[in-house]
Amino acid sequence: MGKRTAKRAGLGDVEERLEGAARAFEEEDFEAVLAQADALLTEAPRHPWVLHYRAAALAELERLEEAAQAYHQALKAGPEDLELLLGAADFLICRVGEDREALEEGLALCGRGRKLAEHADEVELVFEFLFLEGMGLNQVGECEQALAHLDAALELMPRSVDASVERGIALFELCRFAEAQGAFERVLKDAPDEAWAYHYLGLMAERRGEVKEAKRRFAKAQALMPEEFPPPVELSEEEFDRALEAAVKALPERVKGYLDNATISVEDIPSDEDLTGQSPPLSPCILGVFRGTPVGERSVTSAYDHFPAAIVLYQKNLERFAKTREELIEQIGITVMHEVGHLVGLDEDDLWERGLD
């Protein structure tokens, strides 16, 4: 948001006071923005930009539920305002992106906004919507679509570091590691302090077994963005095994019986075979995997189905996922339950509905 947005107010005193909200927003005084927006609502309760500033301030203040409601109110007042659509989509994808429904809503807003921006020949906004769509599609696992959107975005803004990084992530998630390596190396030529590029180059060095190179890349990412890339929480093999045993013991009794014909093991990271054995490939950052046929789909005539099913947890991925020891132990339990869900025949949508995604 910026000063130019206030010029859309068109209500005399409201417009002038929106300029004050714009200045406060640029100065990152979000409490002042919220106070000014709340005061303006008494005079212009359905003014889209009053509602937009209120929503954006609430988001910056981490009052996310209130921000979501405020964005919905703003969109009702200005359903075709491009910058409002972009702000709401950015909020849903970047602020509450772990919520699948929020992501899908954000992607829908991106699609609507992009078409309006194309019709209005607003090239910069078309780029922004394409970039956001790429981010959201990566997050929901639709990485082929994400790649297409990011390629289109980079045709408009070829030097965008953010879009180039997100494109590299899509390639990595698609297990196109050589292309991802090249993409992130090119990012570092233009942006030598891009922490995400170092992180993903570290992940790929780790996959190649280049331990020193991986540590060097991870250390650089951590030095550049310590809050985003803290040192992983590490457990010894014995500690991890104990946490895994505790997770299995904590399973509901009705579920434990399904494990009689299944093995549970731990590996550092997934192999290429684990990732590319299906289409689309699995994410290299998966926390666990189920190998075999779900119990309800096994056939006595299938020789393959006589082999035990297998659940594998990936220790390094889990350790990187967690921020604390407690979170790691909790996530081990969630991952075990997730893979047992596959064992009993639940798909990813079923697991998401049960909060086990």
Q: Model confidence over 169-181: pLDDT tens digits?
A: 999 999 999 999 9
Tokens of 280: 């689309």
Which position has the token pair 């594998």?
312
The predicted structure's pLDDT at residue 18 = 86
pTM of the model: 0.87
pLDDT in tens, 110-145: 999 999 999 999 999 999 999 999 999 999 999 999
Q: How many angstroms separate the CA atoms of 314 and 288, rounded?
A: 6
| Main-chain phi, psi angles of 291, to 5 degrees | -115, 125
For position 290, what pLDDT does the model report? Answer: 87
Count of residues for the chain? 357
Angle between helices 161-173 and 123-139 (to 10 degrees): 30
Torsion over CA: 12, 54, 25, 5 (sign)? negative
Q: Show the DSSP H helices in the chain as ranges.
A: 3-6, 13-26, 30-41, 48-60, 64-77, 82-90, 100-119, 123-139, 143-156, 161-173, 177-190, 195-207, 211-224, 237-249, 253-256, 272-276, 315-321, 325-343, 348-353
What is the DSSP annotation of 83-117? HHHHHHHHIIIIISTTSHHHHHHHHHHHHHHHHHH
Q: Strand order in 309-314's β-sheet?
A: 262-267, 309-314, 288-291
**269 HSE (CA, 13 A, CB side):** 15
Q: What is the pLDDT of residue 173?
A: 98
**Pair 51, 70: CB distance under 8 Å:** yes
Residues with pLDDT less than 50, the chain: 2-11, 298-305, 346, 348-357
Domains of the chain: residue spans and CATH: 159-231 (1.25.40.10), 237-353 (3.30.2010.20)
If we measure between CA atoms, which residue out of 59, 145, 54 comes closest to residue 94? Answer: 59
